[in-house]
Amino acid sequence: MIENNELVSIILPVYNSKKYIASTIESIKNQIYSNIEVIIINGSSDITTNIIKNEIKYDNRFFLFNIKNYGPGYSRNCGIKKATGKYITFIDHDDVVCPAWILSLYESIKRHSSDVSFCFFNEFEESGKNEKLCFDFITEKYYRLTLNLRNELSQILIAPWTKLVRREFLLKYDIHFSKFNLLDDVLYQYLVLQYAKSVSFCHEYLYSHRIHDNSVTGKISKNNDIFFHHFKTLYDILIYSGRHSYTSVSLIKRYRKFLSAYATKVNNKNLYNSFLDEIFYLLDRHRHKEACHLIRKLMDMKEYIKASPLI
């Protein structure tokens, strides 16, 4: 039996989630694994703040930090800095989790001494639609990471709430989220998998991800050009690579495949492919500064993604 005596930090970024935040907090309170701290990074401008205060006033495991809203990536980075637990995971402000969520992730990472433990998730809508996503190729509970497995995992289970990671691991490799980017968690996923040597899986559906009009998934369903934000993640990877000499070129190569996969998924395919070709031309010649300059140019082009500018 694994002793449940190590502190786990749950980071909860919040912005104007008055409709859902109470149920999110209640599901955290109901965790079987009780040795947790919940870091709430709140940028709300409506009554959400009052709801949070009311929900957590009798539970000293919750810590509320009110900040100016700069998006989920910024909030998650703030949460990592404030966390004191041995392990870190995340939850979105409109989702709910099973009581065994933390316990199963914790027991998996401890039992296998893995760098990261994963759980599965389902997506649900207020209409009652509920879909369990299929991950058939994940058949084992523990894997040593190979190049092929890194490539496969880079495409799935991207959300940070599917995984539990040691805080020391995140700090050692300066692993963080992309700021001012609707798809902020892709950077986190790629950095985690770049340095992890092993991963483990709970093989349980422990997290319920809510789809609604204001969720990122809901926005993507209306505007596939949100996938242009993946260029911002490449920008961050190039900046990161310039700062950290231990970063392997395989990280950039792996992310290039990811970018290419979205060329057929955006609405504005001509613009996407045009930038993709120019940026890859520069990367092939190791002209990373020029590639970053080109991405900055794209980030200034607000008209193609009206609902959600890159910066």
Instruction: State the span(s) of the chain assigned CATH 3.90.550.10.
Output: 8-218
Give residue 199's pLDDT band: very low, low, confident or very high (50, 70, 90).
very high
Q: Mean per-residue pLDDT for 239-244?
A: 90
DSSP state of 142: E
Lowest-confidence range among 81-85, 122-126, 261-265, 301-305? 301-305
Inform me whether the pLDDT recorded for 296 exceeds 50.
yes
* pLDDT tens readout for residues 31-82: 999 999 999 999 999 999 999 999 999 999 999 999 999 999 999 999 999 9
Inform me whether the pLDDT recorded for 2 exceeds 80.
no
Residue 218 has a pLDDT of 66
What's the CA gap between 55 and 68, in Å, rounded?
A: 21
Residue 159 has a pLDDT of 96
* Residues contacting residue 13 through CB under 8 Å, at least 6 positions apart: 41, 42, 43, 72, 75, 76, 79, 90, 92, 93
Sign, CA dihedral 238-280-187-225, equals: positive
Which pair of structure tokens corresponds to residue 105? Answer: 């992730």
Arithmetic mean of pLDDT over the chain = 92
How crowded is the C-beta side of 87, counted as CA atoms within 13 Å?
A: 28
Inform me whether the pLDDT recorded for 15 exceeds 80.
yes
Inform me whether the pLDDT recorded for 127 exceeds 80.
no
Residue 306 has a pLDDT of 44
Inform me whether the pLDDT recorded for 302 exceeds 60.
no
Q: Mean per-residue pLDDT for 130-141?
A: 88
Inform me whether the pLDDT recorded for 304 exceeds 60.
no
Give residue 221's pLDDT band: very low, low, confident or very high (50, 70, 90).
low
Roughly what angle, to the nearest 10 degrees, separates helices 185-195 and 72-82?
50
Lowest-confidence range among 85-94, 150-159, 258-267, 299-308? 299-308
Inform me whether the pLDDT recorded for 183 exceeds 80.
yes
Architecture of domain 8-218: Alpha-Beta Complex (3.90)
* Residues contacting residue 277 through CB under 8 Å, at least 6 positions apart: none
Q: Mean per-residue pLDDT for 203-220?
A: 84
Inform me whether the pLDDT recorded for 7 exceeds 50.
yes
* Identity of the residue numbered 201: F
Inform me whether the pLDDT recorded for 288 exceeds 90.
yes
What percent of the chain has pLDDT above 90?
A: 79
* pLDDT tens readout for residues 110-125: 999 999 999 999 999 8
Inform me whether the pLDDT recorded for 208 exceeds 50.
yes
Q: Mean per-residue pLDDT for 250-255?
A: 93
Q: Mean per-residue pLDDT for 223-231?
A: 89
H/E stretch holding 10: strand 8-14
Give residue 249's pLDDT band: very low, low, confident or very high (50, 70, 90).
confident
Inform me whether the pLDDT recorded for 308 exceeds 80.
no
